[in-house]
Amino acid sequence: MTKFLKPVALGALFLFCSNTCAASTSVKFGWPVPVSIAVDENVLKKGKEAKIHYDLVVEKDPKKNQINLQYHNFKILELDGIDLSKEENQKTNQKVIDMMTAVESAMPTLVIDACGKAQDVIGLDDTINKTLELLPMKNAEDLESLKTFLKSPVMEKQIKQKSLEVWRLWVETWLNCAPAEGNEDILEVEIPVGATTLISAIQVKNMGTVKEYPDCVKLVADGNFEGEEARKNFAEMMKQLADRIPKKEGVKPFTVDMVQEVSRKTHMEVVINPKTAQTQTALVESNTHMKINDKTKDALERHEYKFAWPKE
């Protein structure tokens, strides 16, 4: 069970809020609704590379003044260079495929307002149940234990934050801060860590127009999560998560003093149309450093997205 703990906890370190900096390039939300957008994503995680595909289905809620974004048709196309469209490759990698499908497709419905700001995450129970169905676990006791863990308040918050993180990479951060071409600006952000919220800052720069996408600009942002306060709050969050896991005989309980060092550097890029906030490409790369119980671990994670918008 503990193998699920660190990746999920670290996934919540950077959650971008709606503080506004002195933007000089106005990015306004104007996605066509309804719309279905094909997304290809390249992932580097835990030393493994994968190519995945899914559709973003964006629709207006007929009963409420809101927009719902859902993920459909999730597929893993390639794993470490292995073409998974071939049946023989699927069979030999089925366990890994099932695990990745369960983890990567665990995205509930995101609720967005007419200005492009994330308002809520709904359908969490259905998402967790689907994830459990896809996991290649056969032991009923392990599945029930994991279900209890995933449906705890702390974990539900982490899953919601994952959905919000992706949207804020694709759209919302740039609605809040987009400097003039060639200029830089600072956007203050809130980083929720357990029950505490830390205030940090990211540096945003406008790299100018992109030849391949003449109506778009390239925006980049860099931020750091580090320091003693960050370490203490991260350790407390880890303990909250660890306390939800059933104790096993002979396993030393997790304590906050086990976390000795923690830091994370995050780099983001988008190519986006400022008139509509329609993202063409996006990238987020994070370098995480941890020292827990005298064991050091450094990890690189990268997600690259390419959007195929339907032709008008």
| pLDDT tier at 20, thresholds 50, 70, 90 | low
Contacts of 18 (CB under 8 A, 6+ apart): 117, 172, 176
Q: What is the CATH number of the domain that holds 133?
A: 2.30.230
Based on DSSP, count helices (H) and strands (E) in the chain, helices before strands: 8, 12
Q: Is the pLDDT confidence value at 23 over 60?
A: no
Amino acid at 275: K
Q: Is the pLDDT confidence value at 6 over 90?
A: no
Residue 47, token pair as written in the block: 């030393």
> Which helix (DSSP H) or strand (DSSP E) does residue 131 occupy?
helix 124-134
Residue 2, token pair as written in the block: 């503990």
Q: Is the pLDDT confidence value at 146 over 80?
A: no
Least confident of 33-47, 186-200, 284-298: 186-200
- Better-predicted residue by pLDDT, 48 or 154: 48
Backbone angles phi, psi at 132, to 5 degrees: -65, -35
Backbone angles phi, psi at 303, to 5 degrees: -130, 125
Residue 152 forms beta bridges with which residues?
none
pLDDT of residue 12: 43
pLDDT of residue 295: 93
Q: Is the pLDDT confidence value at 251 over 80?
A: no
* pTM of the predicted structure, to 2 decimals: 0.84
- Better-predicted residue by pLDDT, 304 or 75: 304
Task: State the residue range of the domain holding 117.
Answer: 2-308
Count the neighbouring beta carbons within 10 Å of the beta carbon of residue 227.
13
Q: Is the pLDDT confidence value at 1 over 60?
A: no
**H, E, C per residue of 65-109:** CCEEEEEEEEEEEEECCEECCCHHHHHHCHHHHHHHHHHHCCCCE
Tell me the per-residue pLDDT of 252-294, one tens digit each, with 9 for 90 and over.
888 889 999 988 899 999 999 999 999 999 999 999 999 998 9
Count the neighbouring beta carbons within 10 Å of the beta carbon of residue 312.
4
Q: Is the pLDDT confidence value at 5 over 60?
A: no
Average of per-residue pLDDT across 45-53: 91
Tell me the per-residue pLDDT of 92-142, one tens digit each, with 9 for 90 and over.
888 777 777 777 777 889 999 999 999 999 988 888 887 777 776 667 777
- Better-predicted residue by pLDDT, 155 or 234: 234
| pLDDT tier at 13, thresholds 50, 70, 90 | very low
**DSSP letter (8 states) at residue 33:** S
Domain tally for the chain?
1
Q: Is the pLDDT confidence value at 10 over 60?
A: no
| pLDDT tier at 243, thresholds 50, 70, 90 | confident
Q: Is the pLDDT confidence value at 19 over 90?
A: no
Distance of alpha carbon 188 from the chain centroid: 19
Count the neighbouring beta carbons within 10 Å of the beta carbon of residue 144.
12
C-alpha distances in Å from residue 185, one per residue of 28, 104, 188:
18, 32, 10
pLDDT of residue 204: 94
Q: Is the pLDDT confidence value at 199 over 80?
A: no
Distance separating alpha carbons of residues 34 and 23, to the nearest angstrom: 29
Q: Is the pLDDT confidence value at 41 over 70?
A: yes
Distance separating alpha carbons of residues 237 and 244, to the nearest angstrom: 11
Residue 306 forms beta bridges with which residues?
40, 281
Distance of alpha carbon 237 from the chain centroid: 18
- Better-predicted residue by pLDDT, 204 or 229: 204
Where b means 16+ CB within 10 Å and e means fewer, 264-301 reads bebebbbbbbbebbbbbbbbbbbebebbbeeeeeebeb
